[in-house]
Structure 1
Amino acid sequence: MAKKPAAPKPQLVHIPTTSADNPALSKAQKEFNRLTKRISKLEKDVAEFREAATRLRQRVQNEYRPLQARHNEVRADLVRMLDRAHDTYKLTKGERTKIVSLLLDGCYDLLQKGHPDLQPIFDKYEEPETPEEAAAADAQTAEMMKQLFSRQFGIEFDADADVSTPEKFQAYLHQKMATEQAAYEQQEAERAERRASRKKSPRQQAAEEKKQAEEQNITQAVRTLYRDLVKALHPDLEPDETEKARKTELMKQVTTAYEANELLTLLRLQLELQRIDQTHLENLAEDQLRYYNKLLKEQARELDEAMFREQEILSGFTGKPYYYTPTPAAMDYDYARQKAQLEQKIRQLAAEVLAFEHDPAALKAFLKTYKVPKAGPGPVFLEF
């Protein structure tokens, strides 16, 4: 099968380091080269990370999810086997207590994972909760949630706040956050009003005017590039249909880059279309370079943010901090490791279920090593 042709590399945009007229680069020229090189690398990194993340999601859906379903099927077999053993094997009271713990503490989540048929088994061993126990559990949960939101969001709960149920907790939280947000907005409005009422000093006024002038010059620099490219590419002026289609696609790229203030993309297109050459870049005035460098810094910053967003999105999918899989290679390694672990877990559990089914002594030996988890806040999920 023929290999897919590699995507063309973007045009290199840099100022030559040596020439007869310019043997040494200025500080602004060196900054320009550094920024264009950095942006090119960031663009490549973001694109490769996004492709790898998409590939990972596809592999999880096509390979890992079926393995998880198979794992839960084997766990369901374990539940049925333990239920039969509880009723038919000659077991001690302690061993039966451990089986009940294995069922309720370790496998109850199977009801929400495609095995609602196990409900009668769990009902068989679950003791009904008394009103006092339910109230105590609700109070404990409410206290834990209060501590969590106090630590993470700095929310102070009133001593008499009624958060005894999830509904009451959510309602109180929304009211509290809305009150604090309103207070914050009021403070910001007052600060803005005070700032606006202050008379600017001549120095501050001059600095503000200089900043506005620079922003206008930066905008004009990008607009000049855009107009030059539009003049060269306007598809309505092209009689050849093939060339017209090519120019239409390039115009889309130009418009997208212009709207996003992507100076480097516009410069690449100018080089590609031979609207400028490296000598043109070398002879840019220092003021022009300074405007270009400001735009390039902003473009690099946006790409840094884009990479972080991609990592955060992937983190939400995997449930792991973004620094666990910062590169495509790290993604592939982590996925292969987790898949191998799950496959091994399935093989081991299936073998244990088979052994317990045919050999009560094997089950007894396993129960001897099993310790009933201590009661604590929240559910307990055991790994099988």
Structure 2
Amino acid sequence: MPLLDELQALRRDWAFALDAALARKGWTRAERETLTELLCDAAGELLSADDGDKALKALFDKHSDVDFDTDRTEGLQAIKEMAEWATGLDLGDDEGIASEEDLLQRMQQRMQAAQAEQAEREAAAPRRRKSAAEQRREAEAQQATQSVREIYRKLASALHPDRESDDQQRAHKTALMQQVNQAYEKNDLLTLLQLQLQIEQVDAAQLGAADAKRVKHYNKVLAEQLAELKAEINRVELGFRIDFRLEPGWGLKPTKLGEQAARETQRLRAELAEVKRDIGRLDDAPATKRWLKKVRRQREEEEAFDLDFDPFF
């Protein structure tokens, strides 16, 4: 984080160094245009993350054809139109949309409203006769839920703290009952079965002797629970990989994470050195002119391939 903060501060210095360079004479029209584009790209990138920097915003407005607020509004409008085209939603007027987060929230609200309307239409539509397979699946789901409910009722009856006169036992049962309630809310059959074993309502032999129909219900609930847990693991792992720049398939081991942190530190230090070098080069007009020529050529190639240009390279 200290390196990232230092890098952001240095990128800000880079934008103002470009402004100082533009104030000097001797640039061709093409060179001046490139310097201006670099400045606006750099300042705009920084302001997108933090638009509270008044001096940086004034610098952007000084060199851009349109002020930053207008530029951002136009950018949000373009994103909004693309989102409407892609989703088929009407996202309404622009009032209340000041950032991409606002736009995303508006989109989520409209999607939820559209889903609710669809559900109402489906509920009002004439109901078709369910197939035998659909009826069987619904019956199995109902029976699986009934199995969870039966175990919950047995545990609740055995662990009801108000029926216990001993204070220590009452506290123990209260704690267990909290676990039972949490497991029931999550439809967590495995935890409920473990609690049954823990309080000796059943033993392993009884579970092993359960009839095939009941075991089938248990397996169905446990399979659904397993799928939910796997999905949650994948979600947490994806967020972890994004935070630490870990590619998919890259093993999640503490020693490797330390290596990755060391590589990221090295990358940030190299980027800091590069931005410092770029700032220092602006004092050398011939070197800057050669560099600007390379920048223009790179931009032309990226535009030909429709690639995004990174103002910090």
Q: Aligned pair 1:153/2:79, yes or no?
A: no
* 1:257 shift after superposition: 1.4
* 1:103 shift after superposition: 0.9
Deviation string for 1:224-277 (max 9, x for gaps)?
Answer: 433443344333444554444333211100122123322111111222333333
Distance 2:157 2:111 in 1: 53
* 1:76 shift after superposition: 1.7
> Do the aligned partners of residues 178 and 299 (structure 1) sit closer, same or farther apart at CA in structure 2, a change above 3 Å counting?
closer
* 1:193 shift after superposition: 1.6
Aligned length: 289
Match of residue 291, structure 2, among 343, 346, 366 = 366
Distance 2:230 2:20 in 1: 58
Q: Is the 8 A contact 1:67 1:343 kept in 2?
A: yes
Aligned twin of 2:311: 382
Match of residue 122, structure 2, among 170, 184, 188 = 188
3-state SS in 1 of match to 2:214:
helix
Distance 1:178 1:299 in 2: 25
AA aligned opposite 2:122? E
Distance 1:211 1:111 in 2: 54
Q: Aligned pair 1:353/2:279, yes or no?
A: yes
Match of residue 6, structure 2, among 44, 57, 70 = 70
Q: Aligned pair 1:115/2:48, yes or no?
A: no
Aligned twin of 2:98: none
* 1:96 shift after superposition: 2.7
* 1:360 shift after superposition: 3.9
Distance 1:194 1:350 in 2: 69
AA aligned opposite 2:311? L
Aligned twin of 2:152: 226
Further displaced range: 102-111 or 176-185: 176-185
Aligned twin of 1:104: 40
Distance 2:158 2:121 in 1: 52
Aligned twin of 1:41: none
Q: Is the 8 A contact 2:196 2:202 kept in 1?
A: yes
Aligned twin of 1:248: 174
Distance 1:193 1:260 in 2: 33
> Do the aligned partners of residues 263 and 68 (structure 1) sit closer, same or farther apart at CA in structure 2, a change above 3 Å counting?
same
AA aligned opposite 2:277? A
> Do the aligned partners of residues 369 and 262 (structure 1) sit closer, same or farther apart at CA in structure 2, a change above 3 Å counting?
same
Further displaced range: 361-370 or 278-287: 361-370
* 1:220 shift after superposition: 4.5
Query: Any gaps of 5 or more consecutive residues in structure 2?
Result: 96-102
3-state SS in 2 of match to 1:193:
coil
Distance 1:279 1:178 in 2: 48
> Do the aligned partners of residues 207 and 303 (structure 1) sit closer, same or farther apart at CA in structure 2, a change above 3 Å counting?
closer
Using the size of structure 2 for normalisation, the TM-score is 0.66
AA aligned opposite 2:279? V
Distance 1:149 1:334 in 2: 43
Kindly indicate whether structure 1 or structure 2 has the higher relative contact order, using CA contacts under 8 Å at least 6 residues apart.
1
Query: Any gaps of 5 or more consecutive residues in structure 1?
Result: 1-62, 157-162
3-state SS in 2 of match to 1:229:
helix
* 1:214 shift after superposition: 5.4
Largest Rg, 1 or 2:
1
> Do the aligned partners of residues 180 and 78 (structure 1) sit closer, same or farther apart at CA in structure 2, a change above 3 Å counting?
closer
Distance 2:27 2:229 in 1: 64
> Do the aligned partners of residues 79 and 142 (structure 1) sit closer, same or farther apart at CA in structure 2, a change above 3 Å counting?
closer
> Do the aligned partners of residues 243 and 335 (structure 1) sit closer, same or farther apart at CA in structure 2, a change above 3 Å counting?
farther
3-state SS in 2 of match to 1:275:
coil
